[in-house]
Amino acid sequence: MQQINLGIIGGGTVGGGVYQAVQRNGLLMTSRLGVELSIVKVAVRDLSKKRPVKIPKSLLTTDWASVVEHPHVNLVVELMGGTTTAREVVLKAFKLGKSVVTANKALLSAHGEELFLTARQFGANLYYEASVAGGIPIIKVLREGLIGNRITRLYGIVNGTCNYILSRMKNEGADFAEVLADAQRLGYAEAEPSLDVDGYDAMHKTGILASLAHGFWVNPKSIHVEGIRAVTALDIQFAGQLGYTIKLLGMVKKLEIPGKGCGPVQVSVYPTLIPNSHVLASVNGVFNAVYVRGDVVGDTLYYGRGAGQDATASAVLSDLADAALDLKFGTKSRIPPFVPHEREGAVLPIDQTVSRYYVRLSVADRPGTLARIAAILAKAKIGISSVIQPEGHQGEFVPLILMIHDATNAAMAKALNRISQLAVVKEKPVMFRVESFD
Protein backbone atom coordinates (compact mmCIF):
# COMPACT_ATOMS: atom_id res chain seq x y z
CA MET A 1 0.00 0.00 0.00
CA GLN A 2 1.28 3.48 -0.87
CA GLN A 3 2.40 5.63 2.06
CA ILE A 4 2.21 9.44 2.19
CA ASN A 5 4.77 10.93 4.56
CA LEU A 6 3.76 14.13 6.35
CA GLY A 7 6.02 16.85 7.70
CA ILE A 8 4.06 19.06 10.09
CA ILE A 9 5.24 22.61 10.84
CA GLY A 10 3.68 23.69 14.13
CA GLY A 11 2.84 21.60 17.17
CA GLY A 12 0.46 23.93 18.98
CA THR A 13 -3.30 23.70 19.29
CA VAL A 14 -3.95 22.94 15.63
CA GLY A 15 -0.78 20.95 14.99
CA GLY A 16 -1.39 18.85 18.08
CA GLY A 17 -5.00 18.38 17.05
CA VAL A 18 -3.99 17.13 13.60
CA TYR A 19 -1.42 14.73 15.09
CA GLN A 20 -4.07 13.40 17.49
CA ALA A 21 -6.69 13.10 14.72
CA VAL A 22 -4.31 11.14 12.45
CA GLN A 23 -3.56 8.76 15.34
CA ARG A 24 -7.25 8.36 16.07
CA ASN A 25 -8.63 7.95 12.54
CA GLY A 26 -5.61 7.17 10.42
CA LEU A 27 -6.68 3.56 9.88
CA LEU A 28 -10.17 4.72 8.93
CA MET A 29 -8.70 7.09 6.34
CA THR A 30 -6.42 4.35 5.02
CA SER A 31 -9.38 2.03 4.51
CA ARG A 32 -11.26 4.73 2.62
CA LEU A 33 -8.35 6.08 0.56
CA GLY A 34 -6.14 3.07 0.01
CA VAL A 35 -3.26 5.27 1.17
CA GLU A 36 -1.49 5.26 4.53
CA LEU A 37 -0.68 8.58 6.21
CA SER A 38 2.55 8.62 8.24
CA ILE A 39 3.86 11.56 10.26
CA VAL A 40 7.64 11.73 9.81
CA LYS A 41 8.57 14.94 11.64
CA VAL A 42 6.92 17.83 13.54
CA ALA A 43 8.69 21.19 13.78
CA VAL A 44 8.03 23.24 16.93
CA ARG A 45 9.46 26.42 18.42
CA ASP A 46 10.29 25.02 21.86
CA LEU A 47 11.07 21.36 22.55
CA SER A 48 10.57 21.78 26.31
CA LYS A 49 7.11 23.34 26.10
CA LYS A 50 4.26 21.37 27.67
CA ARG A 51 1.66 20.45 25.06
CA PRO A 52 -1.98 19.41 25.55
CA VAL A 53 -1.39 16.65 22.98
CA LYS A 54 1.70 14.53 23.61
CA ILE A 55 3.83 14.13 20.49
CA PRO A 56 6.75 11.66 20.74
CA LYS A 57 10.06 13.48 21.23
CA SER A 58 11.57 11.42 18.43
CA LEU A 59 9.31 13.27 15.98
CA LEU A 60 10.06 16.77 17.24
CA THR A 61 12.60 19.27 15.93
CA THR A 62 13.04 23.05 16.05
CA ASP A 63 14.44 23.15 12.51
CA TRP A 64 11.51 23.60 10.13
CA ALA A 65 13.78 23.59 7.08
CA SER A 66 14.97 20.08 7.91
CA VAL A 67 11.34 18.94 7.90
CA VAL A 68 10.53 20.56 4.56
CA GLU A 69 13.75 19.24 3.01
CA HIS A 70 13.47 15.76 4.55
CA PRO A 71 13.88 13.28 1.68
CA HIS A 72 11.03 11.08 2.94
CA VAL A 73 8.53 13.95 3.43
CA ASN A 74 6.35 14.34 0.35
CA LEU A 75 3.58 16.51 1.84
CA VAL A 76 4.14 19.56 4.08
CA VAL A 77 1.46 20.62 6.57
CA GLU A 78 1.90 24.27 7.64
CA LEU A 79 0.10 24.91 10.96
CA MET A 80 2.38 27.45 12.63
CA GLY A 81 0.39 30.63 11.90
CA GLY A 82 1.78 34.07 11.12
CA THR A 83 2.76 35.41 7.73
CA THR A 84 6.56 35.68 7.77
CA THR A 85 8.17 32.34 8.55
CA ALA A 86 5.04 30.55 7.33
CA ARG A 87 5.49 32.17 3.91
CA GLU A 88 9.10 30.96 3.83
CA VAL A 89 7.98 27.44 4.73
CA VAL A 90 5.36 27.27 1.98
CA LEU A 91 7.54 28.80 -0.73
CA LYS A 92 10.43 26.48 0.22
CA ALA A 93 8.17 23.44 -0.07
CA PHE A 94 6.85 24.54 -3.47
CA LYS A 95 10.35 25.09 -4.84
CA LEU A 96 11.12 21.50 -3.86
CA GLY A 97 8.03 20.37 -5.76
CA LYS A 98 6.17 19.46 -2.55
CA SER A 99 2.52 20.31 -2.05
CA VAL A 100 1.33 22.07 1.11
CA VAL A 101 -1.72 21.84 3.36
CA THR A 102 -2.32 25.01 5.41
CA ALA A 103 -4.84 26.37 7.91
CA ASN A 104 -3.34 29.86 7.76
CA LYS A 105 -5.96 32.42 6.69
CA ALA A 106 -3.72 35.42 7.44
CA LEU A 107 -1.01 33.99 5.18
CA LEU A 108 -3.45 33.39 2.33
CA SER A 109 -5.04 36.80 2.73
CA ALA A 110 -1.68 38.58 2.60
CA HIS A 111 0.20 36.40 0.09
CA GLY A 112 -2.34 34.12 -1.58
CA GLU A 113 -1.78 35.35 -5.12
CA GLU A 114 2.00 34.82 -4.85
CA LEU A 115 1.58 31.38 -3.27
CA PHE A 116 -0.80 30.07 -5.92
CA LEU A 117 1.44 31.34 -8.73
CA THR A 118 4.51 29.73 -7.15
CA ALA A 119 2.73 26.42 -6.61
CA ARG A 120 1.72 26.35 -10.26
CA GLN A 121 5.23 27.32 -11.38
CA PHE A 122 6.83 24.37 -9.56
CA GLY A 123 4.08 21.82 -10.20
CA ALA A 124 2.88 21.71 -6.59
CA ASN A 125 -0.51 22.29 -5.00
CA LEU A 126 -1.89 24.29 -2.08
CA TYR A 127 -4.75 22.90 -0.01
CA TYR A 128 -6.46 25.36 2.35
CA GLU A 129 -9.84 24.06 3.52
CA ALA A 130 -9.02 24.74 7.18
CA SER A 131 -8.26 28.43 6.54
CA VAL A 132 -11.94 29.46 6.58
CA ALA A 133 -14.77 28.44 8.93
CA GLY A 134 -13.03 25.54 10.67
CA GLY A 135 -14.95 22.31 10.22
CA ILE A 136 -17.34 23.71 7.58
CA PRO A 137 -16.13 22.50 4.15
CA ILE A 138 -16.83 25.83 2.46
CA ILE A 139 -13.67 25.89 0.30
CA LYS A 140 -14.58 22.52 -1.20
CA VAL A 141 -18.14 23.75 -1.73
CA LEU A 142 -16.98 26.76 -3.75
CA ARG A 143 -14.22 24.92 -5.64
CA GLU A 144 -16.12 21.72 -6.39
CA GLY A 145 -19.73 21.51 -5.22
CA LEU A 146 -20.79 24.79 -6.86
CA ILE A 147 -18.29 24.72 -9.73
CA GLY A 148 -21.13 25.12 -12.25
CA ASN A 149 -22.53 28.23 -10.57
CA ARG A 150 -21.78 31.92 -10.69
CA ILE A 151 -21.82 33.08 -7.07
CA THR A 152 -24.05 36.14 -6.80
CA ARG A 153 -24.21 36.47 -3.01
CA LEU A 154 -22.16 35.14 -0.10
CA TYR A 155 -22.75 36.04 3.54
CA GLY A 156 -20.66 34.62 6.35
CA ILE A 157 -20.71 34.56 10.13
CA VAL A 158 -17.09 33.45 10.22
CA ASN A 159 -15.71 34.60 13.57
CA GLY A 160 -16.80 32.50 16.54
CA THR A 161 -15.52 34.96 19.14
CA CYS A 162 -17.67 37.82 17.85
CA ASN A 163 -20.68 35.58 17.40
CA TYR A 164 -20.33 34.30 20.96
CA ILE A 165 -20.12 37.84 22.32
CA LEU A 166 -23.09 39.16 20.30
CA SER A 167 -25.18 36.08 21.14
CA ARG A 168 -24.65 36.55 24.87
CA MET A 169 -25.26 40.29 24.65
CA LYS A 170 -28.62 39.53 23.04
CA ASN A 171 -29.61 36.71 25.37
CA GLU A 172 -28.51 38.39 28.60
CA GLY A 173 -28.82 42.12 27.84
CA ALA A 174 -25.15 42.48 28.82
CA ASP A 175 -22.67 45.06 27.55
CA PHE A 176 -19.77 44.32 25.23
CA ALA A 177 -16.95 44.82 27.77
CA GLU A 178 -18.59 42.51 30.31
CA VAL A 179 -19.09 39.66 27.84
CA LEU A 180 -15.64 40.12 26.28
CA ALA A 181 -14.01 39.73 29.71
CA ASP A 182 -16.00 36.55 30.29
CA ALA A 183 -15.09 35.24 26.82
CA GLN A 184 -11.40 35.82 27.61
CA ARG A 185 -11.73 33.95 30.89
CA LEU A 186 -13.39 31.00 29.12
CA GLY A 187 -10.79 30.92 26.35
CA TYR A 188 -13.16 32.02 23.55
CA ALA A 189 -11.27 35.31 23.15
CA GLU A 190 -7.56 36.07 23.24
CA ALA A 191 -6.01 38.28 25.93
CA GLU A 192 -5.40 40.78 23.12
CA PRO A 193 -8.72 40.39 21.24
CA SER A 194 -8.40 43.01 18.48
CA LEU A 195 -7.86 40.49 15.64
CA ASP A 196 -11.30 39.08 16.38
CA VAL A 197 -13.43 41.91 17.77
CA ASP A 198 -12.14 44.54 15.33
CA GLY A 199 -13.10 42.31 12.40
CA TYR A 200 -9.68 41.46 10.92
CA ASP A 201 -9.96 37.69 11.31
CA ALA A 202 -13.33 37.80 9.53
CA MET A 203 -11.78 40.07 6.89
CA HIS A 204 -9.05 37.51 6.09
CA LYS A 205 -11.65 34.76 5.67
CA THR A 206 -14.13 36.85 3.71
CA GLY A 207 -11.39 37.97 1.32
CA ILE A 208 -10.38 34.35 0.64
CA LEU A 209 -14.00 33.39 -0.07
CA ALA A 210 -14.51 36.42 -2.31
CA SER A 211 -11.35 35.62 -4.27
CA LEU A 212 -12.36 32.01 -4.76
CA ALA A 213 -15.95 32.88 -5.70
CA HIS A 214 -15.10 35.60 -8.20
CA GLY A 215 -11.79 34.61 -9.73
CA PHE A 216 -9.58 37.59 -8.89
CA TRP A 217 -7.39 37.96 -5.85
CA VAL A 218 -8.95 40.44 -3.42
CA ASN A 219 -6.41 42.72 -1.79
CA PRO A 220 -7.21 42.85 1.95
CA LYS A 221 -6.60 46.61 1.86
CA SER A 222 -9.63 46.99 -0.39
CA ILE A 223 -11.99 45.29 2.09
CA HIS A 224 -13.99 47.62 4.32
CA VAL A 225 -13.83 46.38 7.93
CA GLU A 226 -15.71 47.39 11.07
CA GLY A 227 -15.64 45.40 14.31
CA ILE A 228 -18.18 45.01 17.08
CA ARG A 229 -16.80 47.33 19.79
CA ALA A 230 -19.44 49.97 18.96
CA VAL A 231 -22.35 47.56 19.47
CA THR A 232 -24.10 48.20 22.79
CA ALA A 233 -26.78 46.37 24.72
CA LEU A 234 -29.07 49.26 23.84
CA ASP A 235 -28.54 48.69 20.11
CA ILE A 236 -29.24 44.99 20.44
CA GLN A 237 -32.40 45.78 22.43
CA PHE A 238 -33.73 48.25 19.85
CA ALA A 239 -32.77 45.98 16.95
CA GLY A 240 -34.80 43.22 18.63
CA GLN A 241 -37.82 45.51 18.98
CA LEU A 242 -37.58 46.21 15.25
CA GLY A 243 -37.38 42.48 14.42
CA TYR A 244 -33.62 42.19 13.84
CA THR A 245 -30.54 40.49 15.29
CA ILE A 246 -27.07 42.06 15.06
CA LYS A 247 -24.30 39.83 13.67
CA LEU A 248 -20.78 40.49 12.42
CA LEU A 249 -21.31 39.65 8.76
CA GLY A 250 -18.77 39.06 6.03
CA MET A 251 -20.45 40.05 2.79
CA VAL A 252 -19.61 39.35 -0.87
CA LYS A 253 -22.08 40.78 -3.41
CA LYS A 254 -21.74 40.70 -7.17
CA LEU A 255 -23.40 43.87 -8.43
CA GLU A 256 -25.37 44.30 -11.63
CA ILE A 257 -24.98 47.51 -13.64
CA PRO A 258 -28.12 48.28 -15.68
CA GLY A 259 -27.38 47.80 -19.38
CA LYS A 260 -23.84 46.56 -18.71
CA GLY A 261 -24.33 43.29 -16.87
CA CYS A 262 -21.99 42.34 -14.01
CA GLY A 263 -20.12 45.08 -12.20
CA PRO A 264 -17.68 45.20 -9.31
CA VAL A 265 -17.95 43.09 -6.15
CA GLN A 266 -18.78 44.44 -2.72
CA VAL A 267 -16.50 42.80 -0.14
CA SER A 268 -17.12 44.04 3.40
CA VAL A 269 -17.13 43.03 7.05
CA TYR A 270 -19.29 44.92 9.53
CA PRO A 271 -21.99 44.52 12.22
CA THR A 272 -25.28 44.04 10.40
CA LEU A 273 -28.95 43.98 11.35
CA ILE A 274 -30.34 40.66 10.05
CA PRO A 275 -34.11 39.98 10.00
CA ASN A 276 -35.04 37.54 12.76
CA SER A 277 -36.84 35.46 10.13
CA HIS A 278 -33.57 34.78 8.27
CA VAL A 279 -31.68 31.59 9.08
CA LEU A 280 -28.43 33.44 9.85
CA ALA A 281 -30.12 35.25 12.74
CA SER A 282 -30.37 31.92 14.60
CA VAL A 283 -26.64 31.09 14.37
CA ASN A 284 -25.51 31.48 17.97
CA GLY A 285 -22.53 30.96 20.25
CA VAL A 286 -19.19 30.01 18.71
CA PHE A 287 -20.82 28.50 15.62
CA ASN A 288 -20.18 29.77 12.09
CA ALA A 289 -22.39 29.74 9.03
CA VAL A 290 -21.90 30.66 5.38
CA TYR A 291 -24.90 31.43 3.18
CA VAL A 292 -24.19 31.12 -0.55
CA ARG A 293 -26.40 31.97 -3.52
CA GLY A 294 -25.55 30.47 -6.90
CA ASP A 295 -27.24 31.43 -10.15
CA VAL A 296 -28.16 27.78 -10.80
CA VAL A 297 -28.58 26.20 -7.36
CA GLY A 298 -30.18 29.16 -5.58
CA ASP A 299 -29.64 29.60 -1.81
CA THR A 300 -27.55 27.15 0.23
CA LEU A 301 -26.36 27.18 3.86
CA TYR A 302 -23.29 25.65 5.53
CA TYR A 303 -23.19 25.54 9.34
CA GLY A 304 -20.86 24.20 12.02
CA ARG A 305 -18.02 24.91 14.38
CA GLY A 306 -15.77 27.51 12.86
CA ALA A 307 -12.72 27.19 15.09
CA GLY A 308 -11.09 25.07 17.75
CA GLN A 309 -8.71 22.16 17.72
CA ASP A 310 -11.05 19.43 16.53
CA ALA A 311 -12.99 21.45 13.94
CA THR A 312 -9.81 22.72 12.33
CA ALA A 313 -8.17 19.29 12.48
CA SER A 314 -11.18 17.83 10.68
CA ALA A 315 -10.72 20.31 7.84
CA VAL A 316 -7.01 19.54 7.66
CA LEU A 317 -7.81 15.81 7.42
CA SER A 318 -10.05 16.57 4.45
CA ASP A 319 -7.15 18.30 2.71
CA LEU A 320 -4.80 15.44 3.61
CA ALA A 321 -7.22 13.04 1.94
CA ASP A 322 -7.35 15.13 -1.24
CA ALA A 323 -3.57 15.51 -1.29
CA ALA A 324 -3.04 11.79 -0.68
CA LEU A 325 -5.32 10.88 -3.60
CA ASP A 326 -3.61 13.38 -5.89
CA LEU A 327 -0.24 11.87 -5.00
CA LYS A 328 -1.58 8.31 -5.30
CA PHE A 329 -2.82 8.87 -8.83
CA GLY A 330 0.04 11.13 -9.90
CA THR A 331 -2.04 14.26 -10.38
CA LYS A 332 -0.90 17.52 -8.80
CA SER A 333 -4.51 18.66 -8.57
CA ARG A 334 -7.82 17.50 -9.97
CA ILE A 335 -9.25 21.00 -9.60
CA PRO A 336 -6.77 23.91 -9.36
CA PRO A 337 -6.72 25.52 -5.91
CA PHE A 338 -7.45 28.96 -7.35
CA VAL A 339 -8.35 29.85 -10.92
CA PRO A 340 -8.08 33.52 -11.92
CA HIS A 341 -10.80 34.11 -14.49
CA GLU A 342 -11.92 37.70 -13.89
CA ARG A 343 -8.98 39.75 -15.12
CA GLU A 344 -10.84 43.02 -14.64
CA GLY A 345 -12.43 42.10 -11.33
CA ALA A 346 -12.65 44.96 -8.85
CA VAL A 347 -13.88 45.60 -5.31
CA LEU A 348 -16.53 48.30 -4.98
CA PRO A 349 -15.36 51.16 -2.70
CA ILE A 350 -17.41 51.32 0.49
CA ASP A 351 -18.64 54.86 -0.27
CA GLN A 352 -20.41 53.54 -3.38
CA THR A 353 -22.19 50.67 -1.62
CA VAL A 354 -25.94 51.00 -1.09
CA SER A 355 -27.74 49.80 2.01
CA ARG A 356 -30.51 50.46 4.47
CA TYR A 357 -29.37 51.75 7.87
CA TYR A 358 -30.10 51.72 11.57
CA VAL A 359 -29.08 54.98 13.27
CA ARG A 360 -29.07 55.68 17.01
CA LEU A 361 -28.81 59.26 18.21
CA SER A 362 -28.68 60.79 21.66
CA VAL A 363 -30.79 63.94 21.31
CA ALA A 364 -32.25 66.75 23.37
CA ASP A 365 -35.78 65.93 24.50
CA ARG A 366 -37.40 69.07 23.16
CA PRO A 367 -39.82 70.02 20.35
CA GLY A 368 -38.35 70.40 16.86
CA THR A 369 -35.41 68.02 17.36
CA LEU A 370 -36.68 65.37 14.98
CA ALA A 371 -37.63 68.02 12.40
CA ARG A 372 -34.06 69.35 12.27
CA ILE A 373 -32.63 65.87 11.79
CA ALA A 374 -35.22 64.97 9.17
CA ALA A 375 -34.48 68.17 7.26
CA ILE A 376 -30.79 67.24 6.90
CA LEU A 377 -31.68 63.77 5.67
CA ALA A 378 -34.29 65.15 3.26
CA LYS A 379 -31.78 67.59 1.79
CA ALA A 380 -29.48 64.60 1.15
CA LYS A 381 -32.44 62.79 -0.48
CA ILE A 382 -32.35 60.11 2.23
CA GLY A 383 -35.68 58.75 3.41
CA ILE A 384 -36.69 57.66 6.92
CA SER A 385 -38.71 54.44 7.05
CA SER A 386 -39.46 54.41 10.80
CA VAL A 387 -38.68 56.22 14.05
CA ILE A 388 -38.49 54.98 17.65
CA GLN A 389 -38.22 57.38 20.59
CA PRO A 390 -38.72 55.18 23.64
CA GLU A 391 -40.57 56.53 26.64
CA GLY A 392 -39.36 56.36 30.19
CA HIS A 393 -35.81 57.67 29.72
CA GLN A 394 -34.71 60.19 32.33
CA GLY A 395 -32.59 63.27 31.75
CA GLU A 396 -32.24 65.98 29.15
CA PHE A 397 -31.03 63.63 26.37
CA VAL A 398 -32.87 60.56 25.11
CA PRO A 399 -32.15 57.91 22.47
CA LEU A 400 -33.71 58.37 19.03
CA ILE A 401 -33.69 55.40 16.63
CA LEU A 402 -34.08 55.90 12.88
CA MET A 403 -34.47 53.24 10.22
CA ILE A 404 -33.27 54.61 6.90
CA HIS A 405 -34.23 53.68 3.35
CA ASP A 406 -31.59 52.70 0.75
CA ALA A 407 -28.76 55.23 0.45
CA THR A 408 -25.11 55.22 -0.48
CA ASN A 409 -22.56 54.98 2.30
CA ALA A 410 -21.07 58.32 1.18
CA ALA A 411 -24.41 60.10 1.42
CA MET A 412 -25.11 58.65 4.87
CA ALA A 413 -21.67 59.54 6.21
CA LYS A 414 -22.03 63.12 4.99
CA ALA A 415 -25.53 63.49 6.44
CA LEU A 416 -24.57 62.01 9.81
CA ASN A 417 -21.58 64.34 10.00
CA ARG A 418 -23.96 67.30 9.60
CA ILE A 419 -26.41 65.83 12.13
CA SER A 420 -23.62 65.35 14.69
CA GLN A 421 -22.94 69.10 14.57
CA LEU A 422 -26.47 70.01 15.67
CA ALA A 423 -26.67 71.45 19.17
CA VAL A 424 -29.56 69.08 19.97
CA VAL A 425 -27.35 66.01 19.30
CA LYS A 426 -25.19 65.07 22.27
CA GLU A 427 -23.00 62.21 21.00
CA LYS A 428 -21.58 60.92 17.75
CA PRO A 429 -24.31 59.04 15.85
CA VAL A 430 -24.15 55.24 15.85
CA MET A 431 -24.84 53.62 12.46
CA PHE A 432 -25.20 49.98 11.45
CA ARG A 433 -26.27 48.62 8.09
CA VAL A 434 -29.39 46.53 7.54
CA GLU A 435 -29.32 43.52 5.18
CA SER A 436 -32.46 42.23 3.49
CA PHE A 437 -30.79 39.37 1.50
CA ASP A 438 -32.64 40.27 -1.70
CATH number, domain with residue 355: 3.30.70.260
Domain CATH code at residue 236: 3.30.360.10
**Are residues 42 and 67 located together in one domain of the fold?**
yes
**Are residues 156 and 277 located together in one domain of the fold?**
yes
**Are residues 320 and 255 located together in one domain of the fold?**
no
pLDDT digits (tens, 9 = 90+) for 18-60: 999 999 999 999 999 999 999 999 999 999 888 889 999 999 9
Q: Please give the mean pLDDT across all residues of the chain.
A: 93
Per-residue pLDDT averaged across 410-430, rounded?
A: 95
Tally of domains within the chain:
3
**Are residues 268 and 144 located together in one domain of the fold?**
yes
Decide if 115 is inside a domain: yes
Q: How far is CA 376 from CA 197, 270, 432, in A?
A: 33, 25, 19
For residue 395, what pLDDT is reported?
A: 64
**Are residues 240 and 379 located together in one domain of the fold?**
no
For residue 381, what pLDDT is reported?
A: 96
Beta bridge pairs of residue 160 = none
Decide if 156 is inside a domain: yes
pLDDT band at 326 (very low <50, low <70, confident <90, very high): very high
pLDDT digits (tens, 9 = 90+) for 169-198: 999 999 999 999 999 998 888 889 999 999
| pLDDT above 90 (res 134) | no
**Are residues 277 and 161 located together in one domain of the fold?**
yes
**Are residues 256 and 318 located together in one domain of the fold?**
no
For residue 394, what pLDDT is reported?
A: 60
Decide if 340 is inside a domain: no
pLDDT band at 262 (very low <50, low <70, confident <90, very high): low
Decide if 221 is inside a domain: yes
| pLDDT above 60 (res 261) | no
Decide if 335 is inside a domain: no
| pLDDT above 90 (res 355) | yes
- Catalytic site residue from 205, 247, 253, 254: 205
Q: Which of 99-113, 391-405, 406-420 has the lowest mean pLDDT?
A: 391-405
Decide if 166 is inside a domain: yes
Q: Which of 25-29, 307-311, 422-426 has the lowest mean pLDDT?
A: 307-311
**Are residues 227 and 174 located together in one domain of the fold?**
yes
**Are residues 14 and 87 located together in one domain of the fold?**
yes
**Are residues 117 and 187 located together in one domain of the fold?**
no
| pLDDT above 60 (res 260) | no
Per-residue pLDDT averaged across 372-379, rounded?
A: 96
For residue 101, what pLDDT is reported?
A: 97
**Are residues 322 and 354 located together in one domain of the fold?**
no
pLDDT digits (tens, 9 = 90+) for 216-239: 999 999 999 999 999 999 999 999
For residue 299, what pLDDT is reported?
A: 97
Query: Which has more confidence, 331 or 363?
Result: 363
pLDDT band at 90 (very low <50, low <70, confident <90, very high): very high
Q: Which domain holds residue 149?
A: 139-305
426 belongs to the catalytic site: no
| pLDDT above 60 (res 328) | yes
| pLDDT above 90 (res 339) | no
Domain CATH code at residue 321: 3.40.50.720
| pLDDT above 70 (res 341) | no
Instruction: Give every CB contact of residue 330 below 8 A, 6+ residues apart in sequence.
Output: none
Decide if 338 is inside a domain: no
Decide if 339 is inside a domain: no
Domain C-terminal end among 273, 305, 337:
305
Say what percent of the chain tops pLDDT 90.
Answer: 82
Query: Which has more confidence, 366 or 152?
Result: 152
For residue 258, what pLDDT is reported?
A: 58
**Are residues 150 and 297 located together in one domain of the fold?**
yes
Beta bridge pairs of residue 155 = 251, 291
